[in-house]
Amino acid sequence: MNKEAIISGFSSYLSLYRKAFDLFNRKKTTLLAASASFYVILTIVPFFLLLIRIVGSLIGDLKQVNQLIFKLGNEVFPNLGPEILLKAQEIIQATLLANSNLTFINFIILTISALSFFNTIWSGIFLISDDKSFLKWWKHLKGLGVIALTVVMLVVAFAFHPMLLLLIKSLKYNLVVDIIYEQVGVARSLIDYLRSINVEKSALFKENLFHFLIFLSYFTFIYRWFFNWKISLKDSLMSSATFVGLLLIGKNLFWVYFFYVRETLMSSYGDYYTFIVAIIWIYLVMCFFFFGVSLSVVLRDRRVNKKRRRKEALSQQSQADWDFPNENFHENSEK
């Protein structure tokens, strides 16, 4: 790949982000983020309870699922106020211990509470994309689909490491490998080397990388699911990578803002200043998410325009092919 191609590719991607940022500003998306942040605060505890109940019922251990969810939440939340997550975890754990059964009525109430948050997401996507299909009745079913996907993600996150260890162990020690080890002398050194590898210290078992891949895969599907598969997998991956990247950058740079406003917050709100920090961070996360939505809209429009231009080019080509034999026919008739 030559230098001109690299510069051209970089310029095209930069143009996409510029268009997404212009759309983000033009649609006043920060107001949408503020509205969604309000619903996050209202529904985060019911949503977590719903997830813990469902996943805990599938796995059989509510406490471990509770710890897993808040470990993932800690990856999203800055390290400046961990006591907020700890307090939320205590509240949810106390509720779980008070009643360990998931009744049908509890399930309906928790589901309705969680879906109220997704309604703000649908409304936000409609206001950004001007596509009224996002306001149709099936959005509630798609909200249930998001909950189901979240449950699947948590089950995978919970079972991935044990299942991978079991698979690797079964590949290292099985009847076929033992026969090869006994009968093929040249393969013994290779098998001994593979058996000596400690996979638990590999990159796949590092929590930061694992959680990054989980979030990237999850939001890749989420963006495509929200847009009714109207964007390609590559485009949804780009939107997801943008959101997760902004999340990681914002998380690591949030301390700069916190450093300058901490004294003011403590003097104004006392011990409750961490709650104000949490609200600010949730607002930023929703801004990041809706910027990913804006990028998805730009990518969707680009894809639609490409299809339309291709269709017009094919139409013009077919028209030219049709006109050419007609011209020959008229020429032969005149002769």
What are the domain boundaries of the chain?
3-320
How many CB atoms sit inside 10 A of residue 71's CB?
13
Can you give the pLDDT at residue 329?
46
29-85, pLDDT tens digit by residue? 999 899 888 888 777 767 777 777 777 776 666 667 767 676 766 667 766 555 566
Specify the pTM: 0.73
- Which CA distances in Å does 135 have to 40, 130, 138, 301, 330? 20, 10, 8, 19, 55
Q: Which of 85-94, 112-121, 236-245 has the highest mean pLDDT?
A: 236-245
Cβ–Cβ under 8 Å, residues 58 and 155: yes
Q: Give me 169's structure tokens.
A: 């162990």
Q: Is 204 helix (H, G, I), strand (E, B) or coil?
A: helix
Q: Give me 41's structure tokens.
A: 């605060």
37-48, pLDDT tens digit by residue? 888 877 776 777
Predicted confidence band of residue 162 (pLDDT cuts 50, 70, 90): low
Alpha helices, DSSP H only, in the chain? 3-26, 29-59, 62-76, 82-98, 104-129, 139-172, 175-183, 188-196, 207-226, 233-269, 273-334
Q: Give me 155's structure tokens.
A: 């089950």
Residue 208, burial from CB neighbour count under 10 angstroms (0-12, 13-18, 19+):
exposed
216-232, pLDDT tens digit by residue? 888 998 898 888 778 88
